[in-house]
Structure 1
């Protein structure tokens, strides 16, 4: 399993060297976008709307927009220094709480923790202590350039880090529109609803739930592939140097014709000048 992060988890005077691994993975079926005419994958380029030119990665800087079209530019070295300063700190468990005290809306992503070299004994100590007390630890840590509030708990004999949102990241329910305040509920309807809930109540078994859409989509893809309903992207045409040379010569010739000055015309003598010449 790939190691995403190495560090130290501490509580009190106990330090636990650990490695962190992603506990979940995205199983979404990724679909590419093709040009309908030639079935070639579409490219997305970074283009400056002012210069109307493609921008390379080395020409891009990071900035914070503090007002409309007003930015504070941050050097990559400055950002990296701040990140390094925080990452080098041990992840300290600052509080212990009950899991049921945290509403699920705060939970974000899960990571497994495994002991690093020399950390097995301390790892086992924290795991047993959490199990026996029924508590979870609250800590702060840097993950992917962001300081995260995190929960450390036990899941199937393994320590798990659950990143959780900060309170200001959870939107207020007061902003949700059209929520009814008081609704008069008919007792008979409520009794039927409760009865239905009781009939459908069971133990949670995650293995029995499947992504039906993903399964159907993969089946459709496999069926089309087996029936030769496929497309192959066309190769990008290789430039012909001879053709390019002729095109360049032709373009140069056309340009030379346009830029060539017109021959000067002899000036015509005016009628008065002609009469004067005849008179003499």
Structure 2
């Protein structure tokens, strides 16, 4: 059964409009989640809102929104007052621009959504917009309001539908210079770079997300299963960290040698599995 739509509205390209729905393309449902419990009774705990000055529990009806103007001084904003800043993009995703996909800096990519036509009435318009984008190999940039916030969203064809990815605003990204400026620029030999590039070639493959294995998640599920079965959980001793003082060229050569040994072993296995037939004596 398909999940409920996260957002419903219209997709608009100039004068062409069609009803659409957005569904989250990612989920955390399969991850192992823990609840806070009372270790004495085994009962689940509930969180309460507490006034930081008086320490008293605050009823849900007294909970509101406040923006901190200065330390400890807030201006209260009512829910109905937020309606004053509602935008057209609350119910309509209007396409503003079309850009090449490679122009979008990956740091701006945020959350993915599946975009589908909402009902058969606007399916024709949806398919026309989707196929026009396929033909031009372009990504659409539009605006949408999600969780009371306006986001820029990038739309591109994906199978029979569209993939919508919300984008971060420039003010949400940190300046890379604050982190990269202190990286030294040592002179390294061309031989080292060539050797490293050769190692990269030996590890070349195609992107396949099915190869990704969440080792921590699998270990966590195994731990919970063992604990539920009444078995003792033993914490392994921490291994001593190896020294980072190495000869770079020697490490590169050893890395390449290890790869060659692995290939040679596979070759010997194949040769053993399919030995050549001896020729009969004349």
In which range does the TM-score fall when normalised by the shorter chain? 0.7 to 0.9
**Pair 1:204-2:195 in alignment:** no
Structure 2: runs of 5+ lacking an equivalent: 233-282
Which residue among 138, 141, 144 is the counterpart of 2:144?
141
Structure 1 stretches of at least 4 aligned residues deviating more than 6 Å after TM superposition: none
Matching residue of 1:235: none
Query: After the TM superposition, which residues 53-72 of structure 1 pair with which residues of structure 2 at under 5 Å, given as runs?
Result: 53-72=56-75
Matching residue of 2:191: 188
Q: What RMSD, in angstroms, separates the aligned Cα atoms of the two structures?
A: 2.1
- Equivalent pair of 2:140/2:154 in contact (CA under 8 Å): yes
Note the alpha carbon deviations across 1:216-249, whole angstroms, 9 max, x for none: 11122123223477xxxxxxxxxxxxxxxxxxxx
The verdict on how the C-alpha distance between 1:129 and 1:156 changes in structure 2, with shifts beyond 3 A counting, is same
Which residue among 208, 218, 222 is the counterpart of 1:219?
222
- Equivalent pair of 2:89/2:143 in contact (CA under 8 Å): no
SS in 1 for 2:200: helix
Q: How far is the alpha carbon of 1:50 from its aligned partner?
A: 1.7
Structure number with greater CO (CA < 8 Å, separation at least 6) is: 1
Structure 1: runs of 5+ lacking an equivalent: 230-280
Larger Rg, first or second structure (1 or 2): 1
Query: After the TM superposition, which residues 152-191 of structure 1 pair with which residues of structure 2 at under 5 Å, given as runs?
Result: 152-176=155-179, 179-191=182-194
SS in 1 for 2:76: strand
Q: How far is the alpha carbon of 1:31 from its aligned partner?
A: 1.6
Query: How many aligned residue pairs are there?
Result: 229
**Pair 1:96-2:98 in alignment:** yes
Matching residue of 2:24: 22
- Equivalent pair of 2:90/2:145 in contact (CA under 8 Å): no
Cα distance in structure 2, aligned partners of 1:179 and 1:36: 48
The verdict on how the C-alpha distance between 1:228 and 1:187 changes in structure 2, with shifts beyond 3 A counting, is closer
Cα distance in structure 2, aligned partners of 1:88 and 1:169: 21
Which residue among 51, 59, 76 is the counterpart of 1:73?
76
SS in 1 for 2:53: coil
Cα distance in structure 1, aligned partners of 2:66 and 2:89: 22
Cα distance in structure 2, aligned partners of 1:88 and 1:42: 36
Matching residue of 2:108: 106
Which residue among 8, 13, 31 is the counterpart of 1:11?
13
Query: After the TM superposition, which residues 113-132 of structure 1 pair with which residues of structure 2 at under 5 Å, given as runs?
Result: 113-117=115-119, 118-132=121-135
SS in 2 for 1:172: coil
* Of 186-195 and 119-128, the range deviating more from structure 2: 186-195
SS in 2 for 1:94: strand
Q: How far is the alpha carbon of 1:81 from its aligned partner?
A: 4.5
Matching residue of 2:46: 43
Give TM-score scaled by structure 1 length.
0.76
SS in 2 for 1:217: helix
Query: After the TM superposition, which residues 255-266 of structure 1 pair with which residues of structure 2 at under 5 Å, given as runs?
Result: none
